Each structure stands twice: as structure tokens, then as C-alpha cells.
Amino acid sequence: MAPVIIASSVLVLSFVGAAVLVGRKMKILLSFPAGDGTHLADIFLSLKEKIRSSKKLRKATSPEFFLQMILSRARVFVLRAERGIARILEGMRKKSQEKDQKFTTDYWGQLRKKKSK
């Protein structure tokens, strides 16, 4: 019974908190003057013009910039792949050296002695 009481009290407190937040935001929203919506359209048009006239944004959307981005990412990918391949090769070389150390020069002679017995 206690978990039900706790859960219901948390639910009621959540609704009260949400109502308080909505009440505060409604006061702020009602304080703005009501308009016919053209003001919002004017804001979007001016924002659109600012974006079009922006030199930084124009540079960022140029084909050369995208080519540079693609090439730099490809270069990073190739460098990472090269590093991984180098690690694999290094491990293979170490294993090969360990096998060479186990395989002595007198291996064939020892093998002949064992075979002749």
C-alpha cells in the first residue's frame, strides 16, 4: 500500500509542478502584443537576407570547401588505416622472429639424427 501512496503523491506533485511552470510561461506569453503574423514573416525574411549576404556562410557552402573537408577526412581515414596496418605488420614480424629463434640452424641435423635412430 505504501508504494501506491508514494507513487500517487509523486504524480500529484508532478502535475502541480507542471501547472506552476505553465502558469508562469502563460503570463510571459500573454504580455507580448498580439499581431497578425506579418512581424514573424518579416523576421524570417531579414534572417534569410542576412544568411545570403554572409561571407563566412558563403565560403562554408562553396564547392572548394566541401572538397577540402572530404579530402581531409579521407586523409585522416587513410592515416588511421596505415597506422593499424603498421601495428598488424609489427605483430606479425615479432611472431616471425620468435619462430625463427625457435627454429635453430641445426634443426635439420637434429631431425636426421632422430630419423636415423
Question: Residue 82 domain-assigned?
Answer: yes
Question: Residue 1 domain-assigned?
Answer: no
Question: Residue 28 domain-assigned?
Answer: no
Q: Using the Cα atoms of residue 94, residue 99, residue 102 and residue 107 in order, give the sign of their dihedral.
A: negative
Radius of gyration of the chain (CA): 37
Question: Which residue reads 518579416 in cell numbers?
Answer: 42
Amino acid 26: pLDDT: 87
Cell triple for residue 89?
605488420
pLDDT tens sequence across 58-105: 766 777 877 888 999 999 999 999 999 999 999 999 998 888 777 666
Question: Residue 88 domain-assigned?
Answer: yes
Question: Residue 23 domain-assigned?
Answer: no
pLDDT tens sequence across 105-114: 677 777 788 8
pTM here is 0.39
Question: Whole domain around residue 83: which residue ranges?
Answer: 33-116
**Domain count within the chain:** 1
Contact 14, 20 (CB under 8 A): no
37: pLDDT strictly greater than 60: no
Residues 17-26, buried b or exposed e (16+ Cβ, 10 A)?
eeeeeeeeee
Name the nearest CA neighbour of 10 among 22, 21, 18, 26: 18
Contact 44, 50 (CB under 8 A): no
Amino acid 35: pLDDT: 63
